[in-house]
Amino acid sequence: MKKVCETCGICRPCCLASRVAGGTSIVSIICGDSETGAWNCANCWKCIEACPEGVDVYEEMIRKRREEEAPEEYRKKYESICKTGYGLPVDELNDLREMWGLKKIKLIDREKLRKLLGDDDSGDE
C-alpha cells in the first residue's frame, strides 16, 4: 500500500536541496509548500531516512519530474553527456577541478570518446 505524506515536516530540515535551492525541492512539493522543485534534489535521500511514514520520495520525485519540464541546465548536461560523454564541457573540466584544489585528470581522447559513443562525425563541438 502506498504511503501518504502526513506533512509533519520532519524531512524539511534535512533536505540539502531545499536549503540551496531557496526552499523548493521534492520535499517542498510532497509537503504541499510548492508546485515545482522536483528537479532540485541532491540524491542524498536523507528525507527518506527521516520520514516516519515511509513515503517513497523517489517515486514521487520521478512522477513529478514527468510532469515538469527539465530545467535548461539539465537538458544541456544531458546533451553534453550524449555528445561527449561528460556532463561538463571537456575543456572546462580540469579548470573546474583545479579551482577546487583537485588534481587534473587525464581525459579520454576526443576521437576515442566519439568512437565509444558511436559518433562517426569527427567535427569539433
Summary mean pLDDT of the chain: 82
pTM over cut 0.75: no
* Set of cell numbers at residue 43: 540524491
CA dist., res. 10 & res. 46, Å (int): 10
State phi, psi for 11 to the nearest 5 degrees: -75, -25
- Residue ranges per domain, the chain? 12-67, 72-116
CA dist., res. 47 & res. 31, Å (int): 11
pLDDT score of 83 more than 80: no
Q: Match 512522477 to its residue by C-alpha cell.
A: 63
Average pLDDT over residues 35-51: 88
